[in-house]
Amino acid sequence: MGTILSEIAAKTKERIEHRKREVPVLLLKERIAERAGEKEPFLFEKNLKQPGLSFICEVKKASPSKGVILETFPYLDIAREYEKAGASAISCLTEPFYFQGSDVFLEEIAGKVKLPVLRKDFTVDPYMIYEAKAMRADAVLLICAILREEELMEYLELAEQLGLSALVEAHSEEEVEMAKQCRARVIGVNNRDLHTFQVDLETSIRMRDLVPPETVYVSESGIRNPEDVRLLRENGTDAILIGETLMRATDKRKALDVLRGKHR
């Protein structure tokens, strides 16, 4: 599969192998032990389960499909604005090469904002789950398309042990099935095809009923206007993940109100 997804996954593997030598997993485990009890476990899932449609607001400087979205990137201010605007969780990109993300962004946000933070990186090694916990993330992203079923199962168990929620991302019926097989508690359907970058909201609308009501159902990507939000809400979506639309809005609170249908 010579696609951008496998390219990012391969590059991430390389980066992590290097990291592992610099910061051994033992050190991460020590750091995690020192901070034991500091965070409420599974807060990400808990927040998304609150009644009504929950918003996961993303902090991202760039993306492979759009290039640089924001030249100046006051990530902490953005996260604080999301919090004030009533977001349920924050998604933070830490992948450096394709998304210009950084672990520093996440650590700082998680230290200063009360909302749970999802580390939106391409998890390809258990090491990354320890890393996420050590940097005070509340949740990790597990993408079905780049994991084998045994890996997904193993990673989910590790996240569970560490008190981290996992957003299990699918893009096809088969992948939703895989997520369910592994007993994922939060399943996200990505409206963006990561091979072609085409966005189609129908993807997450169509797959809604494959996921049982006790599992949190998230619709991800390409959500642009109140009409999109209304369609997803009426289809019984529990949470929506929005990046670019909010990143481009100067007034985040107003943008969220507009999306919720509270303005005009």
Asked about 120 being catalytic, the answer comes back as yes
Q: Residue 74's CB: how many other CB atoms inside 10 A?
A: 11
Match 């996200």 to its residue by tokens.
188
Asked about 221 being catalytic, the answer comes back as yes
Binding to ligand IGP, residues 60-119 (CB under 6 A): none
Our finding on whether 179 is near ligand IGP (CB under 6 A) is no
Q: Which of 125, 131, 138, 220 binds ligand IGP (CB under 6 A)?
A: 220
The smaller minimum CB distance to ligand IGP, of residues 32 and 105, is found at 105
The smaller minimum CB distance to ligand IGP, of residues 29 and 253, is found at 253
User: Least separation, in Å, of the C-beta of 55 and ligand IGP?
Assistant: 11
Using CB positions, name the residue nearest to ligand IGP.
243
Judged by CB under 6 A, which stretch of 16-24, 36-44, 110-118, 237-245 contacts ligand IGP? 237-245
Binding to ligand IGP, residues 147-176 (CB under 6 A): 169
Asked about 235 being catalytic, the answer comes back as no
User: Least separation, in Å, of the C-beta of 164 and ligand IGP?
Assistant: 17
- Which token pair is 11? 């590059």
User: Least separation, in Å, of the C-beta of 165 and ligand IGP?
Assistant: 16
The smaller minimum CB distance to ligand IGP, of residues 120 and 185, is found at 120
**End-to-end alpha carbon distance in the chain:** 45
Binding residues (CB under 6 A) for ligand IGP: these are: 58, 120, 169, 190, 220-223, 241-245
